[in-house]
């Protein structure tokens, strides 16, 4: 379980700003103009990253500025790593 609130990414176009905070299960909030177009993908993408990091849950807020899948994955991963390391950001 992650112990800290952390962020990764930016609000520039093609990027996303990911904010994670501790939670027992997955709580996902996706904001952005294309959120509804990719609703299913977004959830499974987050679940995959969580599993890769060996985490069961986190509250994850993604402000999606039109990021590609690869960017979303990387940013979510960075945010979770930061939260796990306890880097207070």
Partner 1 sequence: MGQENRRVLNSLGRSVPTFIDGLGAFDPYRGPWSRLEGGHERTHFAPPLKGRMPQGSKVTPSLRQAIEASGLQSGMTVSFHHHLRNGDALLMAVLNECEAMGIADLTVAPSSLTDAHEGVADLVRRGVVRQIHTSGVRGAVGKAISRGEVEVPVVIRSHGGRARAIEEGSVVIDVAFLAAPACDPQGNMTGALGPSGCGSLGYAQTDARHARHVVAVTDHLVPQPLRQVSIPQYLVDQVVVVESLGDASKIATGAARITRSPVDLKIAQDAYRLIAASELLAPAVSFQVGAGGASLAVAAFVRDHMRQKGIKGSWGCGGITGYMVQMLEEGLFEALYDVQSFDAAVCQSLARNGNHIEIDQSWYANPLNRGCVVHNLDVVVLAALEVDVDFNVNVMTGHDGVLRGASGGHCDTAAGAKLAIVVAPSFRGGVPSILDRVQTVVTPGETVDAIVTERGIAINPRRKDLAEAARAARLPVKEIADLKKEVEALTGVPERAEPDSDRVVAVVEYRDGTLIDSVFQVR
Partner 2 sequence: MRAILRSMLYIPGNSPSMIQQAPVFGADSVLLDLEDAVALSEKDAARDLVAAFLKTLDFGGQVVTVRLNGADTPYFEDDLRAVIPCRPDAVRLPKCSSPQDVRSCDALMTELERKNGLEPGTVKLHAMIETARGLSNVQAIADCCPRVTALTLGGQDLTADMGVRKTREGTELFTARCLVALAARAAGIAAFDTVWSDVNDNEGLLEETRTVIGLGFTGKAAIHPGQVAWIHRAFIPEPGEVTKARRIVEAAEAAEARGKGVIAVDGKMVDAPIVTRARHTLEMARLAEEVL
By CB under 8 A, name the binding residues for partner 1.
13-14, 33-34, 36-41, 64-70
Q: Which two tokens stand for residue 51?
A: 């599993």
Pick out residues in 59-88 that bind partner 2 (CB under 8 A). 67-71, 73-75, 77-78, 81-82
CA distance 67 to 86: 26
Q: Please select the residue that binds partner 2; options are 2, 15, 42, 83, rule is CB under 8 A.
A: 15
Binding residue count for partner 2, defined by CB under 8 A: 18
> In this structure, what are the phi and psi dihedrals at residue 53, rounded to the nearest 5 degrees?
-85, 0
C-alpha 32 chain-centroid distance: 13
Parallel/antiparallel/unpaired status of strands 16-21 and 6-9:
antiparallel
Q: Which residues bind partner 2 (CB under 8 A)?
A: 8-9, 12-15, 67-71, 73-75, 77-78, 81-82
């Amino acid at each position: 379980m992650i112990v800290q609130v952390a962020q990764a990414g930016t609000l520039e176009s093609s990027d996303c700003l990911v904010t994670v905070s501790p939670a027992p299960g997955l709580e996902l909030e996706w904001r952005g103009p294309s959120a509804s177009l990719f609703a299913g993908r977004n959830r499974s993408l987050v679940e995959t990253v969580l599993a890769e990091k060996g985490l069961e849950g986190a509250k994850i807020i993604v402000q999606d500025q039109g990021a590609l899948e690869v960017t979303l994955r990387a940013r979510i991963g960075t945010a979770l790593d930061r939260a796990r390391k306890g880097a207070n950001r």
